[in-house]
Amino acid sequence: MNNEMHLQFPAKSINESFARLVIIGFIAPLDPNAQELNEIKTIVSEGVTNAIIHGYEDDENGIIDMKASLEGRRLRVTIQDFGKGIENIELAKQPLYTTKQEEERSGLGFMIMESFSDQFEVNSVPGIGTTISFEKEFLPVDSSTK
């Protein structure tokens, strides 16, 4: 099955759950297992939350752009903001690093997204924005366990 979708929405925290629901609906025909569903929901949630909190610094006027495609059982997703960007991606990817200590942010978002992905990439240009991309291959459905 090949399919694709494109969604844009305001950078409001209430839209984080909306983005999760959209991606889950998009992959539903693959009949993902519970672990795969939780991993995809977590990656999308982290990506959108990072865009809202760090990219736009909670400015609800920002736009988040999410694209997804399915090629067979491989999902590819990009989540893009047009916010402030990341000065040092390698530093930002370090566990426990956060620019929002005062908000008690854990600094684990990139590590979590990467651990749940088959492929994960962050591209950012200060003053232009940030794009995270990830891929996930879904296990074949075992009809004998259904």
Backbone angles phi, psi at 18, to 5 degrees: -60, -45
Q: What does R_g of the chain's alpha carbons equal in angstroms? A: 15
C-alpha dist (Å) from residue 41 to 17, 74, 105, 130, 145: 9, 16, 19, 20, 24
Catalytic residues: 46, 50, 105
6 CB contacts (<8 Å, ≥6 apart)?
65, 66, 67
